[in-house]
Structure 1
Amino acid sequence: MALFFRKARAKGAEHSPTPPTEKGTSSVSRETGVVLPDGPKRAAFDREDDDWGLGLDDEYGIEVDPSGPPLSLPRPLTPRVFVVANQKGGVGKTTTTVNIAAALAFGGLNVLVVDTDPQGNASTALGVEHGPGTAGTYEVLLDGARISDLVQRSPHTPNLHVLPAAIDLATAELELVNESGRESRMKRALADYIESSAVDYVFLDCPPSLGLLTLNALVAATEIMVPIQCEYYALEGVSQLVRTIDRVKGNLNDSLELSTVVLTMFDSRNNLSREVAREVRTHFAAQTLDVEIPRSVRIAEAPSYGQTVLTYQPKSAGAVAYVKAAEQIATSIKEAGDK
């Protein structure tokens, strides 16, 4: 059966590039207790149009209770460094990176997001400047600049800093080829940043390829987070990634472990989504998070406003699902350095 997607239209108003300015009240997740920020209320949308034919926000069955107690997430014993990677594109790598990072920051933890994708989508979602010429990941990799000198604080999210990626980063792959120690440049830069800061979590958002940018992220990290889209062919990219991980472990980074799998774009009404989720949990039983991230209009809309879904629509099912995912990561027994 064909799915028909209709663009959401505000009743009686043209769609605006900026969200409505009316503020909502802070909300607290009934499931986790994490305080979510004030978010802009969306204009009233037609029920039929707002669903885009899916309607999963309401179907997912998650609500928030503004009367619940706030939760302070526990700090790891040592900083945890995640590379968020999957060779298959369109699986929600950047979306997962920015929303989990934001959720951890709202839980009181200090978080750094390193944008290693020349498209700069993570920088966009976190509201930091990354236009042409903006100093960031390129200068760290090519010029040996210090991360602490170039990070920007996200305007929407407390305790969250971003090393931005400008379009200049697109040439870095070619320029790094003849450089000595080209695979370990990010690792050295992050070691310096971790030593000089109080960071708890680092997330490296990668492009959907296995070039030197992704390789630098794999060498710099100790844990891998793999978002897997609950659709056909989802496991093909993961099997390729596992082979790459084995090669990196054997040659460049023995401490790298696949610790976290996040199921994204999940549709509970879709048999294929449920089958893919079961297959993933069979292959990665210990690594797969309990919560699935639903396919959500709110999650898809948020980056166009330079926000995560936690600040754009904090009461949506997608926002609460990412908060639950972040809580499970923060409270997991395995800490960075525990093998």
Structure 2
Amino acid sequence: MKKTKIICFANNKGGSGKSTTCGNVGYGLTLRGKKVLLIDGDMQLNLSLSLFDEDQVLSLAKGEKNLYEAIRKGEDLQSYILSTKYENLDIIPSSTLMSSIEYELFSKWQREFILKKGLKKIVEDKKYDYILIDAPPTLGGWVMNILCASDEVIIPVEATPWGLFGIGNMFEFIEQVKEINSNLKIAGILITKVDTRKSYFKQTIEDLRNIENIPVFQTVIRVDSAVEWSQDNNMPVLAYKKSSRSGNEYLELTDEILKRR
């Protein structure tokens, strides 16, 4: 069996579609016969909400079996994995207490590698083909932890006038992390929330594809109300309405990721 690949979805700008992309790619990979573990690394709980209803997510967030508790205690993450109703798709849920994770990391030895250490046995077990991590929209010790634990990073970027704002800071941060995790690669920029009725998205795509040495996925994710309906039903859009435009686009993106393995 091939080595488990760890991919994180990160952008220091909120609203770029990180959680939606992470959840839908994860589900898409299961449709392609892969075993996937999702890790919700964001206090907003959106990735967890894409698979469980609000009451269950809040209960998990307040309980003992979530990512915050595992990191706080410095424990192996295997016992924090939850099954979902979807075959071959598991998750480690988040907690609203992730807002204080920087404080928890501050006093720990080799704090940049706490998440990597927690994942060590899971990776060695080779139960999963992919581990996908949803990172919060910040640049700090916790996101550094996520990047240090990852093989690749996918950067979703919203196709709006403000979508590119701060992306240079993201690139600089990744370069800093590479000094610690030299194997980290940018898998690509994913252009999201494309509204083809507006001409600005063409400029965004052109600007991104002109950035030297930074790959951009051919697949773009267009605006689609099916995404909001799927979120309202706590489901990946591919599970909610497989025939939807966005469902097909996320599956195309999944296939692009698989081809690059």
Question: Into which bin does the TM-score normalised by the smaller protein fall?
Answer: over 0.9
Find the partner of 1:165 among 81, 94, 106. 94
Partner of 1:88: 13
Range 129-138 or range 172-181, more displaced: 129-138
Find the partner of 1:118 among 40, 43, 50. 43
Find the partner of 2:153 among 221, 224, 247. 224
Q: How does 1:84-233 map to 2 (within 5 A)?
A: 84-127=9-52, 129-130=56-57, 131=59, 132-155=62-85, 157-233=86-162
CA contact (8 A) 1:223 1:258 kept: yes
TM-score (norm 1): 0.72
The number of equivalent residue pairs is 256
Deviations 1:145-185 (A, max 9, x none): 22221111121x22111010022322222122112121111
CA contact (8 A) 1:110 1:200 kept: yes
TM-score (norm 2): 0.93
Question: What is the one-letter code of the residue matched to 1:313?
Answer: K
CA contact (8 A) 1:135 1:166 kept: no
Please say if 1:287 is aligned against 2:215: yes
Distance 1:219 1:285, change over 3 A: closer
Q: Whole-Å Cα distance in 2 between the matches of residues 206 and 160 of structure 1? A: 18
Q: Which has the larger radius of gyration?
A: 1
Distance 1:326 1:226, change over 3 A: same
Partner of 2:244: 316
**For structure 2, which runs of at least 5 residues remain unmatched after alignment?**
none
Q: CA deviation at 1:134?
A: 4.5
Q: Whole-Å Cα distance in 1 between the matches of residues 235 and 213 of structure 2? A: 32
Q: CA deviation at 1:301?
A: 2.3
Question: What is the one-letter code of the residue matched to 1:146?
Answer: D
Deviations 1:42-78 (A, max 9, x none): xxxxxxxxxxxxxxxxxxxxxxxxxxxxxxxxx8x42
Structure 1: 4+ residue segments shifted above 6 A? none
Q: Whole-Å Cα distance in 1 between the matches of residues 212 and 22 of structure 2? A: 20
Q: CA deviation at 1:212?
A: 2.4
Q: Whole-Å Cα distance in 1 between the matches of residues 253 and 84 of structure 2? A: 21
Q: Please state whether the residue corresponding to 1:260 is helix, strand or coil.
A: strand
CA contact (8 A) 2:76 2:118 kept: yes
Structure with a larger share of its residues in strand: 2
CA contact (8 A) 1:184 1:216 kept: yes
Q: Whole-Å Cα distance in 2 between the matches of residues 207 and 271 of structure 1? A: 29
Once the two structures are aligned, what percentage of the paired residues are identical? Answer: 25
Partner of 2:183: 255
CA contact (8 A) 1:140 1:186 kept: no
Q: CA deviation at 1:286?
A: 6.2
Please say if 1:270 is aligned against 2:195: no
Structure with a larger share of its residues in helix: 2
Q: CA deviation at 1:139?
A: 2.3
Q: Whole-Å Cα distance in 2 between the matches of residues 122 and 183 of structure 1? A: 23
CA contact (8 A) 1:133 1:168 kept: no
CA contact (8 A) 2:4 2:129 kept: yes
Q: Whole-Å Cα distance in 2 between the matches of residues 122 and 224 of structure 1? A: 17
